[in-house]
């Protein structure tokens, strides 16, 4: 595949832990990445630290200049951020990585009224946008280090081809992505994050994840 045929990835919340780690890996895999932040200056600074193929802009501009958009913001900012970038998302794939953690009780599963954060994203963005959710369970600090990450990526969405695209993006950075069903199923992975935080604490671990078993591969 030629580098030029690859999509430009806009990462909203690109100065955060997860967004930054994803950016680093995709850039290393040869993708062009645009970091978005509410503060364009901070985005540009973070991009400069990541090297040549990464740039930084305000959130709306980052979404507008990308072929596909990754949302990696705290749950409390999800709705407002989606409303900000909505004008730039029509017709695009939006990959929502939002996990409904509600501090201070981040070890307790608290799913939103819509059922899950991914369904909320779809509601806010409207039907002109294809929402897929993924990357809920990968520990950001593990992703930020070089080397393998021992965690699968469950990929949710109502369109199989869109899920497939996200699975390719996961594989490009060394993660196994798996078709995991409709967007509503995102509740499972979103809830699992609180469970993994609990497990990290209970077992004094530093990056619990999971692997799906029994499917070969």
| Closer Cβ to its own copies, 8 or 184, answer by number | 184
SS3 188: helix
CB 24 → its own copies: shortest distance, Å?
Answer: 20
Tell me how far, at minimum, the Cβ of 41 lies from its own copies, in Å: 36
| Closer to its own copies by Cβ: residue 61 or 190 | 190
Shortest separation between residue 197's beta carbon and its own copies, angstroms: 9
CB 172 within 8 A of CB 104: no
DSSP 22-65: HHHHHHHTT--EEEEESSHHHHHHHHHHH-TTEEEEEHHHHHHH
70 beta partners:
11, 95
State which residue, 74 or 209, has the beta carbon closest to its own copies: 209
Toward its own copies, which CB reaches closer, 52 or 203?
203
User: From residue 160, how far is each of 21, 56, 180 by CA, in Å?
Assistant: 26, 31, 10
- Count, residues in the chain: 217
- At closest approach, how far in Å is the CB of 108 from its own copies? 6
Q: In terms of CB distance, is 80 or 212 closer to its own copies?
A: 212
- Note the residues at the interface with its own copies (CB under 8 A): 107-111, 115-116, 139, 150-151, 154, 178-182, 184-189, 191-192, 194-196, 198-199, 202-203, 205-216
Shortest gap between Cβ of 18 and its own copies (angstroms)? 17
Tokens 């780690």 -> residue = 21
């Amino acid at each position: 595949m030629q580098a030029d045929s690859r999509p430009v990835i806009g990462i909203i919340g690109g100065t955060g832990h997860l967004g930054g780690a994803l950016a680093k890996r995709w850039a290393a895999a040869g993708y062009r990445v645009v970091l978005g932040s509410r503060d364009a200056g901070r985005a540009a600074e973070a991009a400069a630290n990541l090297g040549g193929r990464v740039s930084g802009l305000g959130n709306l501009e980052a979404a507008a200049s990308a072929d596909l958009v990754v949302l990696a913001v705290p749950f409390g900012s999800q709705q407002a951020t989606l409303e900000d970038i909505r004008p730039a998302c029509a017709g695009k794939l939006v990959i929502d990585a939002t996990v409904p953690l509600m501090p201070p009780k981040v070890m307790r599963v608290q799913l939103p009224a819509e059922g899950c954060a991914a369904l909320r994203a779809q509601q806010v963005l409207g039907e002109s946008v294809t929402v897929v959710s993924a990357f809920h369970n990968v520990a950001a600090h593990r992703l930020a280090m070089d080397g393998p990450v021992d965690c699968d990526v469950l990929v949710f969405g109502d369109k199989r081809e869109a899920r497939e695209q996200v699975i390719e993006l996961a594989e490009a950075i060394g993660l196994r992505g798996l078709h995991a069903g409709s967007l509503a199923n995102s509740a499972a992975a979103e809830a699992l994050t609180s469970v993994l935080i609990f497990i990290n604490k209970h077992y004094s671990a530093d990056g619990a994840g999971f692997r799906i078993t029994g499917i070969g591969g």
